[in-house]
Chain A
Amino acid sequence: MKALVAVKRVVDANVKVRIKQDNSGVDLTNVKMSINPFCEIAVEEAVRLKEKGIVSEIVVVSVGAKESQEQLRSSMALGGDRAILVETNDEIGALEVAKVLKGIVAEEQPQLILLGKQAIDDDSNQVGQMLSALLGSGQATFASEIQVEAEQVQVVREVDGGLQTVALTLPAVVTADLRLNEPRYVKLPDIMKARKKPLVVKTLADYGVTAGTKLKTVRVENPAERKAGVRVNSVDELVEKLKNEAKVI
């Protein structure tokens, strides 16, 4: 079966972001960008399913700026077979991304659609669920285990109280949680090979989607600073502070 994996180019997880002076957003100039960690887990899972002989082809897709090609190339170095970039420099919301992905699904007809559970920039946690809604398919969010059977996929989900297992009819949308797997390191020869794999560039218009979102970001600011703490030198001092100063115990 064919698997489709959506990946996003985001600020690297280890970067401490800075807010722009005019409070219009986060300053992304000269900041290290990477593939969103949850997307990497989704790609890895697809590759593992291919290695087990369950998946025959992996198509990786991204919606965003031209530079997202780098993340698609890394996804192909991980094991993706070909890539589609829907290029746009405009601001685009989760719903619009879901609509583009729906168009790609209609074209490619994958049986399994994998995404990360959330992107670490906007922290929305929406696209997978929205795509599944638009497709009318089943969804399994926060997946920590995936088992593909004949006509269905069985997924263990991480929920607040513990774990839940659901079975979905294929085609289905699954979003990856941290514990689904540990993505492999990419080897140099694979990076070289990935350069030769096909990457098609499309536009939003190809999928009948217009840029923009009805959810406008009015302002971005720094979170409230915590007042500087104090170093205590003994447990006695700590207990005294907690009792008399902070009054929390």
Chain B
Amino acid sequence: MSILVIAEHDNTALNGATLHVVTAAQKMGAEITLLVVGENVTAVAEQAKTVAGVAKVLVADHAVYAHQLAENVSALVVELAKGYRHVLAASTTFGKNILPRVAALLDVSMVTDVIAVESENTFKRAIYAGNAIATVQSDETVIVATVRTTAFDAVANTGGSATVEAVSIVEDAQVSRFVAEQIIKTERPELSAARVVVSGGRGVGSAENYHAVLDPLADKLGAAQGASRAAVDAGFVPNDMQVGQTGKIVAPDLYIAAGISGAIQHLAGMKDSKVIVAINKDEEAPINAVADYWLVGDLNEVVPELTAKI
């Protein structure tokens, strides 16, 4: 039974999230096809071709797919879905935007955010902000699912030798139009893929303080930077840095939470991290309950000292 994985990319490079989805796909069944849809995506197709475990790469290269608008991409995926048992994508804003639309057009239910594969149609997923784990079984003919990338290792992006096939289907729903985008540039590793994450919460006090205190530590550890919702809402950092139920889900080797109390919505986004360190003034902060190591103290003193000593 074959599997269609929708590759995530920015028209120039394949996003690492896709490599995690391929691992999940390998647990579900046999032959894996990657779909690269966009405009001027030759470079992405070349990268997709060498991904380990991928048998075939479908390339839909057309101006109507330039910004991967859900309306056009989902119509294309539905055309291609015939003959596939599974249609998968990463559980990112890209995957979550498109796949439910695909599922409804195929008239099937969908599984969001798979964290474990029990069998080809039975999966585990987190509900209630990660406070419960549900095992769900899909009785649909086509299984449409998004995959939580942090729950699966990445396959190698080398060693594969997939065949490449062009797709000439052009779907233009003409109900939506791309206007603009504002992509935040950063020199740091990508938050959801980083090995170390340094996060700040309301306790850091201000945007200036967030950077003054946490930037040196993140630099020293080569870490990505995150934040709680409180820090984002207070304007300390942009919202794409939010970790939690409604932000990004991360599971790095080391997660350092500074000035974060640990509301359940935040914990949902980071409690699968291997080692959690909490630095907080409050001895009773809920974050301490999930931390492997917790230190009670003023982050303005503790964090610089930590930066100096590692």
Q: Are A17 and B96 also in contact (CB < 8 A) when A126-B103, A215-B140 are?
A: no
Per the CB 8 Å criterion, the residue count for chain A at the interface is 82
**A16 to B92, alpha carbons, bound, how many Å?**
26
Nearest B residue (CB) for A230: B293
**B284 contacts chain A at the CB level, 8 A cutoff:** no
| Cβ-defined contact, A123 with B112, below 8 A | yes
**A234 to B302, alpha carbons, bound, how many Å?**
9
**A218 to B310, alpha carbons, bound, how many Å?**
47
Contact partner of B137 (CB less than 8 A), chosen from A19, A218, A238, is A218
Closest 8 CB pairs of A and B: A129-B100, A130-B104, A133-B104, A138-B175, A138-B176, A126-B100, A215-B109, A165-B179
Chain B contact-residue range equals: 35 or more
Q: Identify which of residues 144-158 in chain A touch chain B, using a CB-to-CB cut-off of 8 Å.
A: 144, 154, 157-158
| Cβ-defined contact, A232 with B136, below 8 A | no
Contacts of B180 in A (CB 8 A): 164-165
Contact partner of A242 (CB less than 8 A), chosen from B133, B239, B240, B275, is B275
Contacts of A164 in B (CB 8 A): 67, 178, 180-182
Interface residues of B (CB under 8 A from A): 10, 67, 69-71, 74, 92-94, 96-105, 107-113, 122, 126-140, 173-184, 192, 196, 221, 229, 232-233, 238-240, 245-246, 248, 253-254, 264-265, 271, 274-277, 288-296, 302, 305-306, 309-310
From residue A236, how far is it (CB to closest CB) to chain B in Å? 7
Interface residues of A (CB under 8 A from B): 11, 13, 16-17, 19, 26, 93-95, 98, 117-118, 120-134, 136-142, 144, 154, 157-169, 172, 177-179, 213-223, 226-227, 229-236, 238-239, 241-243, 246, 248-249
A-B contact count (CB 8 A): 255
**A168 to B112, alpha carbons, bound, how many Å?**
25
Contact partner of A238 (CB less than 8 A), chosen from B110, B112, B173, B295, is B295
Contact partner of A172 (CB less than 8 A), chosen from B131, B175, B192, is B175
Nearest B residue (CB) for A117: B246
| Cβ-defined contact, A129 with B101, below 8 A | yes
| Cβ-defined contact, A231 with B138, below 8 A | no
